[in-house]
Structure formats: C-alpha cells, structure tokens
Amino acid sequence: MIMKFFIDSADPEQIKKYWDLGIIDGVTTNPTLATKVGRPFRDLVLEIFAIVDGPISLEVLSKDYENILKEARSLSLLHKNVVVKIPMIPDGIRAVKILSSENIKTNVTLVFSPAQALLAAKVGATYVSPFLGRLDDIGENSLNMLKEIIAIYDRYNFATNVLAASIRSARQVEEVAIAGADVVTIPPEILETLYKHPLTDKGIEKFLADYQQSGMDPLIKIS
Ligand code: G3P
C-alpha cells in the first residue's frame, strides 16, 4: 500500500496550493482549524470539495451518542468524500459502530494510546488519528505509541487506517513513514519544509552558474 499524505488545514488557498503540487491525497480539519481562516466554515468546506478529490475529514461538535449520529449522518450527506471525525469518547465509539454498519466513513480523533486505537478498530473506524505532537508536548514518546498501534493492527489484521496527526516537523513525517503509518496529516507549514534542504538550493545555483559561465547554448531554448 502507498503511504498517503493529507493536509491538516481548513484553508482552501493552502489546500489548493498543495493539491496542485500533486503531493496530497486528502484533507483533515478540526474545529480549531475551521476558525482560523476567518470565513464561514460552510463556504470553506464547499470550496475544499471542489478542489480535492479524496477523503476530507469534518469533525462533529456533538458529544452525546444521539447527536453525534445525527451530525455524522448529515455531514456524510454533504459530499461523497466526507469522512466524519469523531472524538475518542464512549458515545463517539458507540456511534462509530453504527456508522460503520451504514458504510459512513469515520476518523476517530484525539487518540493518545494503543488502547484507544484498539477500541476505534474494534468498532470498524475507517481511520484512527493518534496525536503525536500533543503527546510529545507532555513528555511522552509518541513514536512508541504509534509503533504499538501499528503492531496491534498488523497482529489482528484490523482494517482501520493509522493516520498520524499533530505533526510538528519534517523529521516526524520521516519517522511515521518508517514506522509504517498508512496516512500522515501534515500542516501546510510543515509540508513546505519537506521540500527543503540547503544543499539542494546550493546545488541548483552551482549547476546554473557553471553552465552560464561556460557560454554554451542551452540544449533546449525556451522562448
Ligand atoms: O487535526 C488534528 C491534529 O493534527 C491537530 O494537531 O498541531 O493542533 O496538535 P495540533
């Protein structure tokens, strides 16, 4: 299976930039990201649907079973690519079980332990989102947690996709790829850094300077 990149953003401008660059397969949003753009979330979501043909996670705001179900069903009707993001709480897990039986795609979010990830897989979640950065913030080892989740899922052939979230650096993207995460969701500012290496920029300058200094005609002339 090919590792997927999602962009962790609700900003259509940023999403379009990385979609056009051809490196992202989907989008994850959360209520905090939704408020950051400064425009009605409904408008943003409609624009995102028009840009990205891939899974788009939209999070419920409800915390009780009945309302999570109602909200999730309505969100899923907005577009075929919607994945409903549901918090890792008992009512959320109960709702995921029903939504799975209705073939509604789900993403269990705010996961900080293998036990929580195991519950998400048991009820047939499409994705589980372990939050790495926030776990590291409190002095724990998020990479160990991720590796344990992957080991458990592999051991029992759970179909739930491991979606590494709360990513804070390019190195963390490398680490989750080595560990075997199915998906990593990356904020735009970190996506930008994936391209960068000082030796790349230096190398380009040197190649061009050498060619120009030689006085040779270019192989292809671009008018
Ligand atoms: O979208 C969920 C997650 O990636 C949030 O990350 O940086 O707010 O911890 P962060």
**What lines the ligand 1 site, CB under 6 Å?**
8, 28, 30, 131, 133-134, 165-166, 185
> What string of pLDDT tens digits covers the 223 residues of the chain?
899 999 999 999 999 999 999 999 999 999 999 999 999 999 999 999 999 999 999 999 999 999 999 999 999 999 999 999 999 999 999 999 999 999 999 999 999 999 999 999 999 999 999 999 999 999 999 999 999 999 999 999 999 999 999 999 999 999 999 999 999 999 999 999 999 999 999 999 999 999 999 999 999 999 8
Catalytic residue among 16, 36, 63, 85: 85
pLDDT at 219: 95
Beta-carbon contacts of 123 under 8 Å, excluding residues fewer than 6 positions away, are 93, 94, 96, 97, 100
Catalytic status, residue 36: no
Ligand 1 centroid to 77 CA: how many Å? 25
Atom 3 of ligand 1: nearest residue by CA position: 166
CA separation for the pair 65, 16 (Å, rounded):
34
d(CA 27, CA 48): 8
- Shortest-distance Cα residue to atom 8 of ligand 1: 166
User: What amino acid occupies position 195?
Assistant: Y
Q: Which residues pair with 162 in a beta bridge?
A: 128
pLDDT number for residue 223 = 81
Ligand 1 centroid to 131 CA: how many Å? Answer: 7
